[in-house]
Structures are given as C-alpha cells and as structure tokens.
Amino acid sequence: MGLQGKKDPAPPGTGIWLGVTLLWGTVFYFTSVVMLRLASGRLEEGVFNPAGSDIFTIYGFHVVVLLAFAILAMMIKKQLDPKAEKQVQRKKAIVEGKGERVFVSFAGSIATSFFFTALTAGTFLVAGGLVGPGFQLSIPVVILAGVFNIAAGLCASLLVGLIFLIARVGRK
C-alpha cells in the first residue's frame, strides 16, 4: 500500500474533491430521481415524472452544481482546517486498519444521501423550468424521497465497504 511508508499522508487535493463529489453526486442524482418519483407518487403530491431525455439534460446542469459545490466545500474545509488534520488522521486510521470495517462512513452516507436528494430536487426545480417542463415538488415529497434515498446511500456504502474488505484496503 502506497501510504504505509509515509509518516503523514497528503491531504486530498482538488482532483480528489472534484472526483469524489462527481462520483457520489452522480450516483445520488440517479437514485434521487427514482426516490423523488416514488415519493411523489406515494404522497400523491406534486408533479415529478421526468422523461429520460429530461433526466440527462438536467444532469448536465447538475454537474455544474456539483462542481461548484465541491469547490465551495473544499474552500470552507480549508478555512476550518487549513492543514486538513482530520482528513489526514482519517487516512492514517484507514491505512492502519482502524477505519470502519463494513460501512464506509455510516453517518456520512445517511447525511450525504439525504442532502443530495435535496440538491437534486433543487436542480430539477431550477433547471426544469429552463429545459421545458416544470416540476412541482413539495417539501414533504423531498423529505420522504431523502429518507428513501438513505437506503440507497447505505447500500452504496456497504458495497464500497465490501469491496474494501475483499481488496484488503486498510489491512496491514
């Protein structure tokens, strides 16, 4: 493992911030679309049944939102923790085999999946009006979709954790 020989691993750079945000933002965009559709139908509120072409068109807008979010989050994180000590400590713990064994950031998965549902809903509400059909989403629909999306986030976290276990990431 490349990090084991170093005393302190380097903090994540801009590429990591952008890549991770795009990866998870894309996964949660598509799971959020499914959950928003499901929640809208379940509560019989709002209008949310985007066509496949609209989903991909709005995804283009969403990528810009994700990149802006990643840069903003990175800047805020650097202000709060200029030396990225917490991130470096987390990397060291993983390398030493002290990270989570099955879930990769259980609490983070819950918060992230819920947050990205709200971000996806916001993108549809703003960009949807620009591409043609309007979408109407109530707050209860977005909240229920966010709760539904937590299951998707936990499944994704579990999948990554299992991949790490199989690949023996973080084991001495």
The stretch 143-172 carries a mean pLDDT of 79
Distance of CA 88 to the CA centre of its chain: 21
All structural domains of the chain with their residue ranges: 14-167
What would the two tokens of residue 6 be? 């170093």
pLDDT at position 159 is 81
Residue 100 CB neighbours (<10 A): 15
**pTM of the model as a whole:** 0.78
Side chain identity, residue 111: A
Please compute, for residue 135, the number of CA atoms within 13 A of its CA located in the half-sphere on the CB side: 27
- What pLDDT digit, counting tens, does each position of 28-39 carry? 999 999 999 999
What percent of the chain shows pLDDT beyond 90? 35
More confident call, 148 vs 107: 148
The stretch 29-52 carries a mean pLDDT of 91
- What pLDDT digit, counting tens, does each position of 57-103 carry? 999 999 999 999 999 988 988 888 777 777 777 767 666 666 555 55
Residue 48 CB neighbours (<10 A): 23
